[in-house]
Amino acid sequence: MRILAITSVKNEGAFLIEWLAHHRAVGFTDFLVFSNDCSDGTDAMLDRLAALGWLTHLPNPGPWKEGPQWAALKQARDHPLTTGADWIAVIDVDEFVAIKTGDGTLQALFDAVPAATAFALTWRLFGNCGVVRYEDRPVTAQFPRCAPAAMLWPWRASMFKTLFANDGTYEKLGVHRPQAPREAGLANSLWVDGSGRKLPALYQRQRLFTPPGSAPYDLVQLNHYPLGAMESYVVKCERGRSNRQQGGFDMGYWVERNFCTEEDDAVRRYDTAAGALRAELMRDRDLAKLHADAVAWRRARFEALMRDEPYRALFGRLLLCPPSQPLSEAAARAMVGYGQRAQEA
């Protein structure tokens, strides 16, 4: 079985090895990685990883009509790795699949819900945990605290990425879900959430979030580490979003994702397997040097940005801002109600 992960990166060299090793341990067999405008050597790392047989790297230079990520997905649509895959997921380098059933592999997830043709992998938002300095250590170890399992608002806490069977039901790839369904394929399409529960038929065609407050994490969750250390977040803000139609990184982005309410250790089950794969990769001298160079670039870039008042002010606000507190149930329901009424208007 071929299980493909597709991602698009810019200046992610410091995090790339951890992400790859983790998802190889999870059971992805192939990686199709697009890069653009890299200053930290990420593109060179990807070339080396391709030479080692770990992935396929395609440069994705601009300009782009809809941003680099959408341009990459258009290229990926007809790539042999895509057309030959049995299952596909479009996931970012700050997202880590954590499977809680069986031996923690994708095959165990498929065995748990054998009729499913699409798994909505709902985000579990992992906050900053008060970490200021960027460190060259696994992200999954540095940031163990996250949002509550059942949170009504903000709605982004219920957003998902999709692991879907590449059975011809959908014609196009999408950032969060496959797009352009074929009517003939929908008859046999079964969308489930991360607890294996059947989702309404509407999910076959649209929706980007599972029902708020449903805590769909019994079988699988998508650990999302959107913030990282404060220093690293400042560098991320300079990089900008991969989809130019979305807003930039700022304090609003930070506050809506910086939840450190609960500790979740689901990802710990991969420590041994992923650690061994990271060590294997780092034994390659060329790759180890490229990783070290990317780490040094990230630290130097932060220091350079501190000479610029807007970034210095942003860093100061991060230092001042405590972790976000989940709303009370009443306040959260009120916010959801406002949104529903706005849609109905």
Cβ 216 vs Cβ 243: under 8 Å: no
DSSP secondary structure code for residue 122 in this structure = E
Q: Could you count the other beta carbons within 10 Å of the beta carbon of residue 328?
A: 9
* pLDDT at residue number 65: 86
* pLDDT at residue number 244: 46
C-alpha neighbours within 13 Å on the C-beta side of residue 49: 31
Predicted confidence (pLDDT) at residue 66 exceeds the cutoff of 90: no
Give the residue among 225, 204, 213 at the shortest CA–CA distance from 145. Answer: 225
> Distance between CA 162 and CA 132 in Å, rounded?
32
Amino acid occupying residue 330: A
Beta strands in 187-296 (DSSP E): 191-192, 220-224, 262-263
> Distance between CA 178 and CA 192 in Å, rounded?
14
Helix (H) or strand (E) holding 35: strand 30-35
* pLDDT at residue number 62: 85
Instruction: Find how far residue 111's CA is from the centre of its chain.
Output: 24
Please list, in sequence order, all residues whose beta carbon lies within 8 angstroms of the beta carbon of residue 299, skipping any fewer than 6 positions away. Answer: 134, 231
pLDDT tens digits for range 14-35: 999 999 999 999 999 999 999 9
The structural domains of the chain, with segments of one domain joined by +, span 93-344
> Distance between CA 128 and CA 76 in Å, rounded?
32
Return mean pLDDT, the chain.
Answer: 95
> Distance between CA 122 and CA 197 in Å, rounded?
13
pLDDT tens digits for range 237-294: 998 754 444 445 689 999 999 999 999 999 999 999 999 999 999 999 999 999 999 9
Q: Is 103 helix (H, G, I), strand (E, B) or coil?
A: coil
Q: Is 220 helix (H, G, I), strand (E, B) or coil?
A: strand
> Distance between CA 345 and CA 343 in Å, rounded?
6
Q: What are the contacts of 105-108 at 24+ separation with CB within 8 A?
A: 105/26, 105/27, 106/3, 106/26, 106/27, 106/28, 106/163, 107/1, 107/27
pLDDT tens digits for range 147-184: 999 899 998 999 999 999 999 999 999 999 999 999 98
Cα 244 to Cα 33, 135, 225, 240, 247: the distances in Å are 19, 29, 20, 8, 7
Is the model more confident about 80 or about 341? 80
* pLDDT at residue number 248: 58
Q: Could you count the other beta carbons within 10 Å of the beta carbon of residue 26?
A: 24
* In the chain, % of residues over pLDDT 90: 89
> Distance between CA 210 and CA 214 in Å, rounded?
8
Place of tokens 């009504």: 152
Please list, in sequence order, all residues whose beta carbon lies within 8 angstroms of the beta carbon of residue 242, skipping any fewer than 6 positions away. Answer: 8, 10, 67, 68, 69, 92
